[in-house]
């Protein structure tokens, strides 16, 4: 049977037809199906801890792997293993970064309010980092642990509070890196190691948490360095980064209100006591909001999943926008949760089916590759036959001459 006929057979296969229909359906519906399939796949192998049984968490892994369920599953399981190996829960709960103030003095960075959508805004003045001093007050290992603890805090506190305030699901950060003065010369080996380690952690274990990164005040020195740094980053992450020169303000103000932008970046905020980057300014520091968030997302409730579903219901017609008080109504949670997951049986393909379709697609792709190789080999063979005929002619002529 030729490759072509195998492909035709597979194309006739009803499963393949279903997968073509999925591609034709609207994007969100497809996303929901794929999330549900990944969820079923993980549940079937008992590899989905309650903490991560969340529509948006699974969606992040799928997005990062181009909606390939097998690859998303592998990435998700790697994340679980990393959390186990590095005791991430212990870092989140117990790690004390005593050198916090000293680090902030030589490496100005921090969360500062929200962007216009309501996402946390994170700012780093990378160009002002005093690296030799930084390495005196902390180590790469401790800084990386601090970074992990901050990531955990963002996911467990900053995003939920921002979601409550904005009344929509928020699970990504907008960031601004001021690289004024930064170039290849002042980016040492230890800085490169730290950058690479943090990049690896963020893209492998906290995928899709970056909404947009504005790199501002990029001069020629930074642009040379950027060529090196880009090699550490995933294409999806790179697509979310804008490298801007000194005329960055209008672009940044499209995403951030001036009141949330520090004065030193062209905004209007002048936080007292230590300046804007020491404050961890944002709704997540408001005790009332922390309490509301804990009530909504606290222990004993499978709450992030449920609240996310409640908030997500804004996008469904016939569902009123929830207020903070309404959010913890159990019946409402169940009802809205059902909007996302009620179709477990109705109208949604099982994880096994979706998986089979993806495998079919992958087989088709391999067949096309093989056909391409076969065609190339055929051409090469033809050329070789011609050359052989030419050589035979030459040999005949030589024989005649020698005789
Ligand atoms: Zn400020």
What does the pLDDT read at residue 353?
Answer: 66
Residues 118, 244: one domain?
A: yes
What does the pLDDT read at residue 116?
Answer: 97
Residues 151, 126: one domain?
A: yes
Distance 264 CA to ligand 1 centre (A): 10
The token pair at 349 is: 């393909």
120 falls within a domain: yes
315 falls within a domain: no
Distance 287 CA to ligand 1 centre (A): 19
Distance 134 CA to ligand 1 centre (A): 23
Asked whether 179 and 218 are in contact (CB, 8 A), the reply is yes
Strand partners of residue 278: none
Residues 99, 189: one domain?
A: yes
Identify the helix (H) or strand (E) that includes residue 124. Answer: strand 120-124
Residues 78, 117: one domain?
A: no
Asked whether 249 and 213 are in contact (CB, 8 A), the reply is no
Distance 212 CA to ligand 1 centre (A): 20
Quote the longest CA-to-CA distance of the chain: 106
Distance 268 CA to ligand 1 centre (A): 8
Residues 74, 199: one domain?
A: no
Distance 88 CA to ligand 1 centre (A): 30
As a 3-state breakdown, the chain gives helix, strand, coil percent values, each rounded to 5, of 65, 5, 25
Q: Tell me the CATH number at 241.
A: 3.40.525.10
What does the pLDDT read at residue 191?
Answer: 79
Residues 191, 274: one domain?
A: yes
Structural domain of 74: 1-85+350-403
Identify the helix (H) or strand (E) that includes residue 111. Answer: strand 109-114
Q: What are the helix (H) ranges across 313-350?
A: 324-327, 330-341
Q: What distance in Å separates the CA atoms of residue 167 and residue 297, rounded to the nearest whole number?
A: 14
Asked whether 126 and 177 are in contact (CB, 8 A), the reply is yes
Asked whether 128 and 181 are in contact (CB, 8 A), the reply is yes
What does the pLDDT read at residue 328?
Answer: 39
Residues 18, 119: one domain?
A: no
Residues 78, 101: one domain?
A: no
Q: Which residue among 288, 306, 333 closes a domain?
A: 288
The token pair at 226 is: 């950027």
Nearest to 39 by CA among 20, 23, 59, 24: 59
For the chain, the average pLDDT equals: 79
Asked whether 349 and 21 are in contact (CB, 8 A), the reply is no
Residues 126, 228: one domain?
A: yes
Asked whether 226 and 182 are in contact (CB, 8 A), the reply is no
Residues in the chain, pLDDT under 70: 1-27, 185-186, 297-355, 359
What does the pLDDT read at residue 22?
Answer: 29
Asked whether 329 and 306 are in contact (CB, 8 A), the reply is no
What does the pLDDT read at residue 264?
Answer: 93
Q: What distance in Å separates the CA atoms of residue 108 and residue 115, rounded to the nearest whole number?
A: 19
What does the pLDDT read at residue 351?
Answer: 57
Nearest to 352 by CA among 41, 69, 29: 41
Nearest to 109 by CA among 78, 83, 130: 130
301 falls within a domain: no
Q: What distance in Å separates the CA atoms of residue 336 and residue 323, rounded to the nearest whole number?
A: 14
Q: What distance in Å separates the CA atoms of residue 21 and residue 8, rounded to the nearest whole number?
A: 17
How many angstroms separate the Cα of 318 from the Cα of each of 31, 269, 330, 339, 349? Answer: 21, 40, 19, 11, 26
Asked whether 278 and 248 are in contact (CB, 8 A), the reply is no
Q: Which residue among 288, 307, 334 closes a domain?
A: 288
Distance 280 CA to ligand 1 centre (A): 9
117 falls within a domain: yes
Q: What distance in Å separates the CA atoms of residue 137 and residue 118, rounded to the nearest whole number?
A: 34
121 falls within a domain: yes
Phi/psi of residue 236, each to 5°?
Answer: -65, -35
Residues 56, 114: one domain?
A: no
Distance 215 CA to ligand 1 centre (A): 19
The structural domain count of the chain equals 2
Identify the helix (H) or strand (E) that includes residue 106. Answer: helix 100-106
Residues 79, 188: one domain?
A: no
What does the pLDDT read at residue 390?
Answer: 84
29 falls within a domain: yes
Radius of gyration of the chain (CA): 27
Distance 202 CA to ligand 1 centre (A): 26
Residues 133, 269: one domain?
A: yes
Q: Which residue among 288, 317, 335 closes a domain?
A: 288
Distance 266 CA to ligand 1 centre (A): 12
What does the pLDDT read at residue 233?
Answer: 79
Distance 270 CA to ligand 1 centre (A): 5
307 falls within a domain: no
The pTM score is: 0.68
318 falls within a domain: no
What does the pLDDT read at residue 29?
Answer: 84
Distance 278 CA to ligand 1 centre (A): 9
Handedness of CA 63, 350, 337, 340 (dihedral sign): positive
Distance 267 CA to ligand 1 centre (A): 9
What does the pLDDT read at residue 178?
Answer: 95
């Amino acid at each position: 049977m030729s490759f072509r006929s195998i492909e035709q057979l597979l194309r006739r296969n009803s499963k393949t037809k279903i997968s073509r229909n999925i591609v034709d359906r609207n994007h969100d519906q497809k996303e929901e199906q794929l999330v549900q399939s990944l969820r079923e796949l993980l549940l079937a192998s008992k590899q989905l801890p309650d903490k991560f049984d969340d529509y948006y968490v699974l969606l992040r892994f799928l997005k990062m792997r181009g909606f390939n369920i097998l690859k998303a599953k592998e990435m998700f399981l790697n994340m679980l293993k990393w959390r186990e190996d590095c005791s991430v829960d212990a870092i989140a709960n117990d790690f004390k970064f005593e050198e916090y103030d000293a680090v902030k003095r030589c490496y100005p960075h921090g969360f500062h309010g929200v962007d216009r959508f309501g996402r946390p805004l994170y700012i780093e003045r990378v160009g002002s980092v005093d690296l030799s001093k930084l390495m005196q007050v902390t180590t790469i290992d401790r800084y990386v642990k601090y970074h992990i603890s901050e990531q955990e805090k963002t996911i467990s506190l900053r995003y939920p509070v921002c979601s409550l305030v904005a009344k929509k699901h928020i699970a990504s950060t907008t960031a601004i890196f001021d690289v004024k003065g930064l170039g290849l010369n002042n980016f040492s080996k230890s800085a490169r190691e730290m950058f690479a380690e943090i990049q690896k952690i963020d893209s492998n274990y906290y995928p899709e948490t970056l909404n947009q990164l504005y790199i501002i005040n990029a001069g020629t020195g930074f642009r040379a360095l950027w060529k090196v740094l880009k090699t550490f980053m995933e294409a999806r992450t790179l697509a979310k980064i804008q490298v801007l020169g000194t005329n960055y303000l209008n672009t940044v103000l499209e995403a951030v209100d001036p009141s949330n932008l520090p004065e030193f970046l062209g905004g209007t905020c002048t936080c007292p006591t230590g300046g804007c980057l020491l404050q961890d300014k944002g709704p997540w520091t408001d005790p009332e909001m922390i309490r509301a968030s804990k009530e909504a997302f606290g222990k004993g409730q499978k709450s992030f999943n449920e609240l996310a579903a409640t908030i997500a219901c804004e996008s469904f017609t016939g569902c009123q926008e929830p207020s903070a008080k309404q959010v913890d109504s159990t019946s409402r949670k169940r009802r809205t949760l059902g909007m996302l997951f009620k179709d477990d049986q109705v109208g949604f393909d099982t994880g096994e089916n979706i998986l089979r379709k993806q495998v079919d697609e992958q087989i088709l792709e391999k067949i096309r590759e093989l056909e391409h190789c076969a065609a190339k080999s055929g051409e090469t063979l033809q050329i070789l036959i011609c050359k052989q005929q030419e050589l035979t002619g030459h040999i005949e002529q030589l024989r005649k001459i020698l005789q």
